Structure 1
Amino acid sequence: MTDRTATRACAPAGSGPDRSDRGVTRQRPHYAALDGLRGLAAISVLLFHLGHWQGHPWLAANAGLAVDFFFCLSGYVLSVAYRETLDQGMATRTFAVLRLVRLMPLVILGTLISAAYLAARIVLLHDPAISVAELTRATAFGLLCLPMLDASRAIGGPQVFPLNGPQYTLFLEIVVNIAWAALRRIDGMGSALAIVAAGYALMALVGIGGDEVASFWTGLPRVFGAFYAGVGLYHAQSGFAPIRDARWRFLFWPLLGFSALLFYWPQGLSFWVGWSWSLIVSPLLVLSGAHVVLRGRVARASAVLGALSFPVYALHYPIFVWINAAYQAILGSRSFAVGTGLALPGVLIASWLILRWWDEPVRRAMTTWLRTRAPQRVANGV
């Protein structure tokens, strides 16, 4: 969707630092409430896409707004986790490597799962519309997390990541992360506010896009505006005592309820409602959630939701296409109820298994290898 009223894909749920890179940055505070909210937002994105992909856009009709929360949260937690280390000399290249270690294992797996689906269509169904050469090229682009601007509709065009449409936001996450680290010498409250103002002003002029070729560049104002809103929150907490006041936590639950109502309203809301939510409510959710303290079962449930958020986001399309094809092959027909009833638990269960058996082990191994290969560079950022 390239107009002002909706988006087809949302931002990465696994935006923050994780256990694979905490050893080379200072320990960050644990924001349990924000972890839980990140997981709920990722599930809302899953429902949003299940509705759109199956012709029922009323399902979580406005959950595409989660893109703004994800990027705002990313700007905030990366500032908390890395800003001091970057100021002490961590190279931009080292930071980029750590972010790629965090994001790329699931990007690679998602690309391979989708590519395998299209390859199966070639082999089993002899689909003449799918070119082996084009599929090979799309797979290479996806594995490198680079946009492909000439994909045919047969493999998922005109989306810039035809094998996994939501991957475009992961690409934008990498872009804004590296830009932030590279420009850290001019990073401050004033520059963050200027970028936020410019980003949201451009969004008001050109709308929201990024997933398709025709609107690809319009994704940049949104990601930079939302990300630097989180960066601005970090600087505001550092410079203004009222922003550090724990009483902000009382806003969290009312804002969460309002946002849930907005996300699940069965009709698409106007561009300006979403724009206002993004500019005002999303940063307030991050600010208030950072002050909320959870304990016991609620804290443990939030941790699970936070851990699931990135696999659910990064893999929900590749997993869906296999589930969708399998049940239609068995039943011989398409059903929204059956498709959603299978895809929702299927994505959640598969995401959990992949998190435990692929994502976490691969990131641990990559981090260990980096420390062995260049321990001083990884530890000190030089």
Structure 2
Amino acid sequence: MQNNNSLLNTKKHFEILDGLRGVAAISVVLFHFMEIIFPPKENVIVHSFLAVDFFFCLSGFVIAYAYDSRIAHLGVWQFIKLRLIRLHPLVVIGSVLGLLTFFLDPFSNFYPTYGFGQTLLMFLASVFLIPYPLMEERFFNLFNLNAPAWSLFWEYIANIFYVFVLYKFSRNTLQIFTFVAAALICFIAFKSTNLMGGWSGSTFWDGGARVLYSFLVGMLIFRSNWAIKNNIGFLGLSALLLLAFIVPFNDNYNWLTEPLIVLIYFPVLVALGAGATIKPKLEPLCKLSGEISYPLYMIHYPFIWVFLTYFVEIKPEMALLKFTVPVYMVLLIGFAYLTMRFIDVPIRNYLKNKWVKNNR
């Protein structure tokens, strides 16, 4: 058996892709505030929900880059364990925060409606990533306590398919499946007039289509060596990513603009990010941005639920919101950093060290 210490050795990071992941995560958090305050046509960052598709594309690229050359030696169960170590602590942390805010939200009291049994089921479903769209008050999200977990559910599905099937695909086979997945994206966009689905019980399978295409095309970018050499840099690519998020909302054209962003624009950005050079002075910023991206994504939404009930019950003036939202954003980013530094990383290091010891 290959030495597990060597299997744990990680390849170099794509610093700019790490940084872009953080930009996308911050944009998602801001979008979740803005969609509560403004109708879509007044939301200046209305298409930030497509950041999830960007995440899926990045994931396909990174997984193929990190594991294609060693998955045969690593094996199915070791791969799954490593992915669980990387991803699941924050799934549990987000679930705990969701449960705490469910009970402690000063502007709502849902517990009498759902009682101990249903509340326990919601928590367990969140911890184990079992879709359970129960709460009408929360728009039948697949995960009532921590809404963004829907994308982690599909991320896990993609990882399972990768280790059992996808890593064996030749590049030609991967191209065929990517083309089929692109056609499916177009069908869903035309049928639903947008690509916003996947997070609720009624749009469950839309999430499968979204991860299928973006994960496959991310793999294809790596397998085809489509890294585009350029000097755009982190700031330039961040601006290009933000352009996708501020495309105006239009009921008549979303079915066209959103697939174009997902099918073409995001893969090009990933290829550009993979081939870009970074200025040394920006490396710490990219590293920090990448480090907080996943914690921020997984811990912010329990507090969004509190903000939603605050907004509905208190009906604050816009002047107050202009102060509240930026402060809330800064606090969430700071909390994500502290969660990463003092909870997530220590737990992952402990589990990884234990994994190494058990496999010597």
| Superposition TM-score, scaled by structure 2 size | 0.86
Contact 1:38 1:309 in 2 (8 A): yes
Cα displacement (A) at 1:170: 0.6
Distance 1:65 1:121, change over 3 A: closer
1:159 pairs, out of 141, 157, 161, with: 141
User: Does residue 206 of the first structure (1) align with residue 188 of the second (2)?
Assistant: yes
C-alpha separation between the residues in 2 aligned to 1:350 and 1:253? 24
- Paired amino acid for 1:160: L
Cα displacement (A) at 1:172: 0.4
Matches within 5 A, 1:182-261: 182-184=164-166, 186-207=168-189, 208=195, 209-237=197-225, 243=226, 247-249=229-231, 256-261=238-243
Alignment size in residue pairs: 344
The percentage of aligned residue pairs carrying the same residue is: 25
Matches within 5 A, 1:7-46: 24-46=7-29
Contact 2:85 2:351 in 1 (8 A): yes
2:355 corresponds to:
370
C-alpha separation between the residues in 1 aligned to 2:241 and 2:80? 32
1:279 corresponds to:
263
Distance 1:121 1:301, change over 3 A: closer
2:254 corresponds to:
270
C-alpha separation between the residues in 2 aligned to 1:22 and 1:119? 43
Matches within 5 A, 1:139-150: 139-149=123-133
Q: What are the superposed Cα offsets for residues 192-229 of structure 1, whole Å, 9 maximum, x if unpaired? A: 21221111211211233211111101211110100010
C-alpha separation between the residues in 2 aligned to 1:172 and 1:126? 28
User: Does residue 357 of the first structure (1) align with residue 342 of the second (2)?
Assistant: yes
1:75 pairs, out of 60, 68, 78, with: 60
Cα displacement (A) at 1:325: 6.4
- Paired amino acid for 2:154: L
2:34 pairs, out of 34, 38, 51, with: 51
2:192 corresponds to:
none
Contact 2:16 2:233 in 1 (8 A): no
Higher mean Cα deviation, 168-177 or 316-325? 316-325
Cα displacement (A) at 1:253: 6.9
2:304 corresponds to:
320
Distance 1:34 1:46, change over 3 A: same
Distance 1:23 1:186, change over 3 A: closer
Cα displacement (A) at 1:181: 1.2
Cα displacement (A) at 1:262: 2.9
C-alpha separation between the residues in 2 aligned to 1:229 and 1:166? 22
In structure 1, runs of 5+ residues without a counterpart are 1-20, 238-242, 376-382
- Paired amino acid for 1:263: F
| Superposition TM-score, scaled by structure 1 size | 0.82
Contact 1:102 1:363 in 2 (8 A): yes
Distance 1:250 1:349, change over 3 A: closer
- Paired amino acid for 1:320: I
User: Does residue 340 of the first structure (1) align with residue 301 of the second (2)?
Assistant: no
Distance 1:66 1:326, change over 3 A: closer
Q: What are the superposed Cα offsets for residues 62-111 of structure 1, whole Å, 9 maximum, x if unpaired? A: 11121222111111111111111113x22111111111111111110111
| SS class of match (2:114) | coil
Distance 1:343 1:130, change over 3 A: farther
In structure 2, runs of 5+ residues without a counterpart are 190-194
RMSD: 2.8
- Paired amino acid for 1:110: G
Matches within 5 A, 1:106-185: 106-120=90-104, 128-149=112-133, 151-154=134-137, 156-184=138-166
C-alpha separation between the residues in 2 aligned to 1:287 and 1:126? 46
C-alpha separation between the residues in 2 aligned to 1:286 and 1:248? 12
Cα displacement (A) at 1:255: 5.9
2:46 corresponds to:
61
